[in-house]
A and B are shown apart, each in its own frame.
Chain A
Amino acid sequence: MNGLLLVAGREIRTQVRSKAFVVGLVIMVLLVGAISFAPKVLGGPDSYKVGLVASERLPVWGDTKIEWKDYADEAGAQRAVLDGDVDAALVGGTRVLTDGAIDDQLGLLLQSAHREAQIGSSGVKITPLSMESVGADTRYQKTRSGIAVVLVIVLFMLIIGTPMMVAMGVVEEKGSRIVEILLTSVRPWQLLGGKILGLGAVGMINLVAILVAGLGGALASGLAVDFPPGMAGIVVGVCVWFVLGYVFFAALAAALGSLVSRQEEVGNVLTPMTMTMMASYGVAFYSVKEPTSLVATIVSYIPPFSSMVMPVRSAAAEVPLWQVLISAGLMVAGVVVVVLLAARIYERAVLRTGARVRLRDVVTSR
């Protein structure tokens, strides 16, 4: 155990001190922070300014706020419209002045408020329609999709990037034969496990920093009020899925990496794994748009694809807990199988320096 922790500690120290780690982390944090601000900046305004000339305020209801401003005459109101001080001006309760065509939403709002005011003055009382969804709760659809998109990208980068570092580390040790010295003082499983644990911790630091930046940005920008219920569950789920997906791919990356002795060969030997990841990524991205589709649903149960698709699916739409648990259970089983297999391959291949070791040889030999 001690050896494992020593190896893990070295991996963490080496990574955390490297420039690439610090720069990468800062960029990701800024990017995700910015994304959680963006909807507020880019989205349509949710309040308008309307000038009044010899008019009553209209009875506007709903989420949209209107700030009323009185003007003495039409000329003053016209100037205010042209200067952009107000979005529109209501003159004499009958005409609306705008600079160009009126904003759709404001136009509708003013028309219906006007109608209601007219009818109301004739003594008829109108009860606003109450809205009720009998389908899925779609109130949070936009936010859910937004969160899902960010998750797809973050999970993809971390689940592909961190195992890549594992593979490069394995090849560095094999190629330089440090592994020969290491394996006279620690067991192969300690070396492999320590590396996966250490770099996983580094990935986790990245993930947590990004989540904190995203949630912090959302709270600061006020976007957080649109968060769907169960946001905490989504966040915890993402961390758990990252761990599962990471361990799966990291073990695979280490096993494949141990077959070669040169850094140049890493990309080549990892191709089957990167293809699998790209496929997971593709389905995960599709699940953002179609979280309830059959494809997304099925793939969200299949390891290792589930590690990317399930968290995205459950962010993009509500997924019953039992489904998540079944998928997670299958993934855990997949992780156990891959880790055992990878340990076996690694142990046999990592000391065979020179030409690329054939997978068949290490799997079938004694």
Chain B
Amino acid sequence: MSSRRADIGVFWAAAVRDIIGHMLETEELRKTFGTGKVALDRVSFAVRPGEMFGFVGANGAGKTTTMRIVMGVLEADSGEVRWKGGPLGFAERRRFGYMPEERGLYQKMKVAEQIDYFGRLHGLSPAASKKATAELVERLGLTERTKDAVEALSLGNQQRVQLAVALVHDPDVLILDEPFSGLDPIAVDALAEALRERARGGVPVIFSSHQLDLVERLCDSVGIISAGRMVASGTVDELRGAEGRKLRVIVADPKPGWADGLSGELTVEGGREVLVTEEDDDQRVLRAAMSAGRVEHFGVERPTLTEIFKEAVA
């Protein structure tokens, strides 16, 4: 019995080690700019291997600053970024893939050459870099454009090249600042798929976005940052949990005052009375509704990330 318990203990210790062993964490990052403006105030979060972490916040909230600190482009005043449980240095960052906020590509350089160049800079051998470039070009649908200068490409295609530059060395971690901005829906799907694939391969993926529906759809967890502080983080469901579950009920031509015994609000939408309630006993609500008339709609109202976000930063 006791040996079995020991086994379980070993198992859990190994599992925890394994997760921490590939986790990217920030701890209490602080950054104040020269002007005295506090950019980051104790920002902490952790991204597990294979997890997609959506970073949301208003303009100037500190998303880019955080990502730049993680990438070593900017130095934090205090706090730490850890990778696999240890400090993060140049050699480790060299294995990261990064897409900065303002797109950085050599405008006059040809597409394939550019991807290959960054592959080499990240330490790939000439052959490996060529191979990775060819694969990415094909997967991102740039095959026809390999010999074109970047400046001749559409914004969407430039973004693909930028992504290819971040992916070429098969990075251990992906940090992408607004990767979806300015893309059409099809390009968004293509990019989302590319990121999911990396995450499935066990890579922690962090990206920032203002497209909250997209973040909600893609991400395993979300961090909401406001004025330099991480105001909420966790899975979308966890964030919803804090909000409480709501029921939404619509009854056709109900008896007046049918919802008097229930908490919540009765509003009128498009000529219909809609009840939104936080009652725990959904069956009681349903019975009340049925006795009031024909129930047209009865469902759990899940707050969208947009609502959670607005609530969190309010």
* Interface, chain A (partner B; CB < 8 A): 3, 6-7, 10, 14, 172-173, 176-187, 351, 353
Contact = CB atoms under 8 A, between A and B. Distances in A.
B45 interface: no
A260 to B, nearest CB: 16
A262 to B, nearest CB: 13
Contacts of B298: none
Nearest to B74: A351
Contact of B117 (A10, A172, A184): A10
A3 B122 CA distance: 9
A181 B93 contact: no
> Considering the complex of A and B, which 8 residue pairs feature the smallest CB-CB distances, nearest first?
A178-B104, A177-B104, A185-B121, A180-B100, A177-B102, A185-B122, A177-B100, A176-B104
A336 B105 CA distance: 32
B107 A183 contact: no
B53 interface: no
B98 A181 contact: yes
A184 B93 contact: yes
B123 A180 contact: no
A182 B166 CA distance: 11
Contact of B73 (A7, A172, A183, A187): A183
A181 B123 contact: no
B255 to A, nearest CB: 64
Nearest to B101: A177
B108 A14 contact: yes
Contacts of A187: 90
A6 B104 CA distance: 18
Interface in B66-118: 68, 71-74, 90, 93-94, 96, 98, 100-109, 117-118
Given A176-B105, A184-B93, A185-B94, A3 B121 contact: yes
Given A177-B100, A177-B101, 4 more contacts: A14-B109, A177-B102, A184-B72, A184-B73
A178 B114 CA distance: 11
Interface string B107-137: 1110000000110111100000000000000
B165 interface: yes
Interface string B44-80: 0000000000000000000000001001111000000
Contacts of B74: 351
A185 B73 CA distance: 11
A262 B90 CA distance: 28
Contacts of A176: 102-107
A184 B71 contact: yes
B49 to A, nearest CB: 20
Please classify how large the interface on chain B is, using the bins under 10, 10 to 19, 20 to 34, 35 or more. 20 to 34
A14 B123 CA distance: 21
A184 B98 contact: yes
Nearest to A178: B104
23 contacts: A6-B120, A7-B121, A14-B106, A172-B106, A173-B104, A176-B103, A176-B106, A176-B107, A177-B100, A177-B102, A177-B103, A178-B104, A178-B105, A179-B104, A180-B100, A181-B98, A182-B121, A184-B72, A184-B96, A184-B98, A185-B118, A185-B121, A185-B123
A165 to B, nearest CB: 13
B13 to A, nearest CB: 33
Nearest to B109: A14
Nearest to A361: B34
Nearest to B123: A185
A180 B94 contact: no
Nearest to A365: B34
B171 to A, nearest CB: 10
Contacts of A180: 68, 71, 73, 98, 100, 104
- Report which residue of A172, A177, A351 has the largest number of chain B beta carbons within 10 angstroms of its beta carbon: A177
Contacts of B90: 187
A179 B121 CA distance: 12
B35 to A, nearest CB: 11
A186 B104 contact: no
B120 A181 contact: no
B117 A181 contact: no
A330 to B, nearest CB: 36
Nearest to A185: B121
Contacts of B93: 184
